[in-house]
Structures are given as C-alpha cells and as structure tokens.
Structure 1
C-alpha cells in the first residue's frame, strides 16, 4: 500500500508541476510569439481548460495519497518535511482553485465575447499565478528530496 500511495502521489506531482513548467516555459511563449490574440487566446483557453481538469484529478491524488501516507504513520509521527509539503500543497491548491474558478472563467468569457483586452488581462493573471505555483511546486519537490535532514 505504501508504494501505491507514493506512486499516485508522485504521478500527480509530475502531471501538475511538469504541466505548469511546459505551459509556462514552452507553450505560452511560443503561442505569444507566433499567434495574434484572436488565435492565441482561444487556443490557450482551450488548452488550459483541458489541463485544469486533469490537474484537479492530480491534486485529488496528491492530497489523498499524501494524507493517506500521513495517516499510516500518524500525523504526530510524520516527519516535519511531510507537514511542510502538506502545507505547501494546500497553498498551491488554493491558488489553483482561484485560477480555475475565477481567472480561467474570465479568460473563457473574454474569448467567447471576442474581448481580447479582457481575455489578455485574464491570461496575464493566470500566467503570474501559474509562475507562483510553479515556484512553490519546485520548492515543495526540494523539500521532499532534502527534507529528511530537517
């Protein structure tokens, strides 16, 4: 059971953090260089809508497997770095929910109305929040790798 929980946990992290890296450093910059807003923003709205549905599943896997692992050893007995990872993961989840339920909705509404300035502003906010979450995600992975020393 321990290995299964760890696999589910890591698979969720790979999807979420890896997907943010790809979107932030590969997809969005190339789309911004090559496509005007009437083409770029609908593409990004569609890609992010699909990605965020997958991330929601990944987050559920991460939280359930992480809490499951903590329950196996007892929260009081869990190493400090596990508690740090849980706290960071919860902050990241709150940021993700804000992006998905507020800013993605604004992006999609702007695209539907062909209001490119509004859609672009929403996309810029998404980009900033994803950058923040990506930084937190990388820091959380570092805590996972080096946290045994805490």
Structure 2
C-alpha cells in the first residue's frame, strides 16, 4: 500500500510543480524581463520558442497528472466515493486548467505561430496578450489547487 501511493504521489507532485512553476516563472519573471530588455520585434519569436518548449512539458504533465490522480483515487482509495471533497475539487479545477491549456494551445498559440511565421508583429503581440491572460487564470487556479492539496486533508 505504501509503495502504491508513494510512486503516483511523487509523480503527481512533480508534474504539478513543473506545470505551475513554469507558469509562475513565465508570468512573474520572464514576461517583465523581456519587456524591459528586448525590442518589440524580438519578443514574439522568443515567446513562440519558449512556449513551444514549455507546452511540450505541459502536455506530458497533464498526462501524468491524470494517470497518477486516477491511479490514487481508484487504485488506492477505491473510488471517488472514498475521497474527501478536496479531492473532488482538485480534480474539477485540474480539468478546467487542462481545458484552458488546450484552448491556449489550439487557438492563440497556433495563431501566434502563424503570425511569427509571416512576421506580423501586431497580431503576434495580440496573441501573446491572449495567452498571458489565460495563463494568468491558470496560474491562479494552479496555486489554488496546490493550496487545496496541501490543506485539504485538514479541513
């Protein structure tokens, strides 16, 4: 029982840290630094290449989060009926985060790639703004989920 919980829990936490930590870094450190140091024409290409690499990690993290979360719920706890409300809340918020990420990836990020390819910086900047807003929402949700995970069992 201990090993069956330890492995998915560690993988689950690592995936959450990579995803939420990456959003925090991009939103709170990279974005302000780019605005202060790079000319507006360089920013879209850097954002495109940075997000392209990060989004590959996010896809993997989402898969790990789903697999390990369901492994713990059904393989260790015996189903959703045996878990606390905080687990239900984490799952619901996690699914919302995944849906928001999928939207970012398939809509504004795809349009950012197209705008950078044709060097249309105004459209690229608009798409970056769209991505930034949704990532900001996802960052807040991710920090909330982490708080619920840490404190949930104590309520």
- TM-score interval w.r.t. the shorter chain? over 0.9
TM-score, normalised with respect to structure 2: 0.94
What CA distance in whole angstroms lies between the structure 1 residues aligned with 2:111 and 2:32? 20
5+ residue gaps, structure 2: none
1:37 Cα offset (Å): 2.2
Query: 1:9 maps to which residue?
Result: 12
5 Å-filtered alignment, 1:21-36, equals: 21-36=24-39
Query: 1:118 maps to which residue?
Result: 123
5+ residue gaps, structure 1: none
Instruction: Look up the SS of the partner of 2:107 in the other structure.
Output: helix
What CA distance in whole angstroms lies between the structure 2 residues aligned with 1:114 and 1:25? 26
Match 2:74 to one of 50, 71, 74: 71
Runs of 4+ with deviation above 2 angstroms: none
TM-score, normalised with respect to structure 1: 0.97
What CA distance in whole angstroms lies between the structure 2 residues aligned with 1:33 and 1:106? 25
What CA distance in whole angstroms lies between the structure 1 residues aligned with 2:125 and 2:34? 13
1:126 Cα offset (Å): 0.4
Q: How many residues align?
A: 150
What CA distance in whole angstroms lies between the structure 2 residues aligned with 1:22 and 1:115? 26
> In the alignment, is residue 61 of structure 1 matched against residue 64 of structure 2?
yes
Query: 1:149 maps to which residue?
Result: 154
What CA distance in whole angstroms lies between the structure 2 residues aligned with 1:58 and 1:66? 12
Query: 2:52 maps to which residue?
Result: 49
